[in-house]
Amino acid sequence: MIHSELNVTNKNNKYIHMKKLFLFIGALLFSTLFYGKSIGLNLFLFSVITLTVLYVNNKDDFRNKRILLYSSLYLVTGLSVFFHDSLVAIIANFVAFFTLIGLLSEHKSSIYVNWLNGLYTTIAGFFHRNFSFNEATQEVEPKKEIDYLHLFKIIFIPSIIVIVFIGLYQNGNPLFSKIIESIDLGFINIQWLLFAGLGYYLFSNIHKPIEVEPATELDLKTGNSLNKTEGFSIPKLKQENQLGIILISMLNALIVLFLITDITFLITNDDVRASVFSSQVHSGINALIASIVIAIIILLYVFRGDINFYKENKILKRLAFIWIILNVILVLSIATKNSQYIYYFGLTYKRIGVLAYLTLSVVGLITTLLKIDQIKNIWYLLRLNTKAAFVVLIIASTVNWDYHITNYNFNYAKSMDFNYLIDLSNNNTFLLKEQAESKGLANDSIMLINKKYRKYVYELRTNSWQELQYDNLKLDKK
């Protein structure tokens, strides 16, 4: 009995030491990867290290399919940063990181609560664990004793002995001596060590994810379905139903009229003048986007409560469905205008942003339809739509936008703003160089391209291994 208890204690101690060792190695790698370096291969390697630390400390959780999926998405965003060092990819990597950590803290919570939990764990996980209150024992959980002497022994004694032996072997073998002399540890300084301390703190925070209890509990308690309230009153609902039918009927009539005129305009004006089109798109799209948001808000207001359980709400529901479908057609008409604008004046981030926004609007409209049809609450909408936004962000992070913008504008657009392409990130530099060589561009343009190319090649050549990008490999092939 005593033997088995001793074995368990020994195993626990071993596990704690192993864990500490992992965190320590993680911290050193963190500083090696990021101290004084720009983003590149290091973010992907950091993703791999984070996943290793999380896996070692939460093995059981990694049997969950959702966690495996989110881990893969996290790695994909890390790879995206390596392939094209874009801001979207970096943001997506951070969001995926917080989502994964949050998911590990609570598997069943909504994605926005995962973000909150992930952020909280990253910022103050270690502190929270040391001061969390155990409900069962009614006292603050005591901090586990750390055997600093042992920790000192396992780190410093082997290090000193290894250094002594290196000194001995160096004298015995000239080749070995040459290898040892080529190792440069000049990068380690006080700031590097402080940075490693930051890494250790970060890994200590995230290795066992925690949750913001009030928010997580509230989220777990809140279901997706809408319930009938105690103040259910048929006369009141009859009035609400009438108001809803009149309002949505009028809005339906208005949107039908608008769509007829809009589609007529799109069909009859094959070759639209630039000035007309520009004003159409800039003033029109913003207004239409706002109208879609207002449409969703109106529907949420009308179907906010007991009207969902009123037996004679079928006409209202049908009108709402028609309005949603008409709004989807409106989105398609905006998308067509935006596409025509892109065709005439080229692709830009703003125009891609409009398309992304329209995609999210369609998702919002469809989920509103589902909410009304299946009598769901507003939390259902929020949960689905935040998930959709997350998916759109991850997909967007995998695309090298600067390359595609440049490629489209050179090869397909009727006109383009050359200075805009020059101002884009370095992701389009090689393509610009190719275009300069194959197409007859103005001398000024070629000069600008060559200047950008030389600067970028210099940057790539001076990149350390931590800052490596996919373009480094391309450069080596050339």
Partner 1 sequence: MIALIVFALFFIGLMTFVIIRISISCLFWASKNPKDKQSVFKACFPYYIIILFAICLAFIIKFDKNEIVVYYFSIVYFLTLFIWRSELKSSPKKNKSFAVEPNHPKLP
Q: Which residue ranges make up the site for partner 1 (CB under 8 A)? A: 116, 119-120, 123-124, 127-128, 131, 133, 138-140, 212-215
Q: What angle do CA 461, 88, 118 make, to 5 degrees?
A: 115
If the CB atoms of residues 52 and 122 are measured against partner 1, the closer one turns out to be: 122
If the CB atoms of residues 37 and 404 are measured against partner 1, the closer one turns out to be: 37
Tell the smallest beta-carbon distance from residue 119 to partner 1 (Å).
Answer: 6
Tell the smallest beta-carbon distance from residue 124 to partner 1 (Å).
Answer: 5
Sequence-ordered strand ranges (E) for 173-315: none
Tokens at residue 368, please? 């509103």
Place of tokens 């139903």: 241
DSSP 3-state of 37: coil
Q: Which of 19, 214, 24, 4 is nearest to 106 (CA)?
A: 214
Buried b / exposed e over 456-466, threshold 16 CB at 10 Å, is bbebbeebeeb
DSSP 3-state of 376: strand
Tell the smallest beta-carbon distance from residue 102 to partner 1 (Å).
Answer: 12
Tell the smallest beta-carbon distance from residue 218 to partner 1 (Å).
Answer: 11
Kind plus residue range of the DSSP H or E element containing 18:
helix 2-34
If the CB atoms of residues 12 and 132 are measured against partner 1, the closer one turns out to be: 132
Tell me, what amino acid is at 187?
F
Tell the smallest beta-carbon distance from residue 36 to partner 1 (Å).
Answer: 11
Residues linked to residue 376 through DSSP beta bridges, in sequence order: 225
If the CB atoms of residues 121 and 463 are measured against partner 1, the closer one turns out to be: 121
| Cβ neighbours of 411 (radius 10 Å) | 9
If the CB atoms of residues 116 and 358 are measured against partner 1, the closer one turns out to be: 116
Residues linked to residue 133 through DSSP beta bridges, in sequence order: 140
Tell the smallest beta-carbon distance from residue 122 to partner 1 (Å).
Answer: 9
CA gap 198, 316 in Å, rounded: 58
Tell the smallest beta-carbon distance from residue 127 to partner 1 (Å).
Answer: 5
Tell the smallest beta-carbon distance from residue 133 to partner 1 (Å).
Answer: 4
CA gap 42, 78 in Å, rounded: 9
Q: Which of 89, 70, 87, 67 is nearest to 79 (CA)?
A: 89
If the CB atoms of residues 199 and 305 are measured against partner 1, the closer one turns out to be: 199
If the CB atoms of residues 132 and 173 are measured against partner 1, the closer one turns out to be: 132
Tell the smallest beta-carbon distance from residue 34 to partner 1 (Å).
Answer: 13
CA gap 100, 175 in Å, rounded: 46
CA gap 356, 370 in Å, rounded: 21
Q: Would you mind telling me the total number of residues written for the chain in this entry?
A: 478
Tell the smallest beta-carbon distance from residue 397 to partner 1 (Å).
Answer: 21
CB of 419 within 8 A of CB of 349? Answer: no
If the CB atoms of residues 139 and 423 are measured against partner 1, the closer one turns out to be: 139
If the CB atoms of residues 206 and 255 are measured against partner 1, the closer one turns out to be: 206
Tokens at residue 392, please? 């759109």
If the CB atoms of residues 201 and 321 are measured against partner 1, the closer one turns out to be: 201
Q: What angle do CA 73, 76, 80 make, to 5 degrees?
A: 140
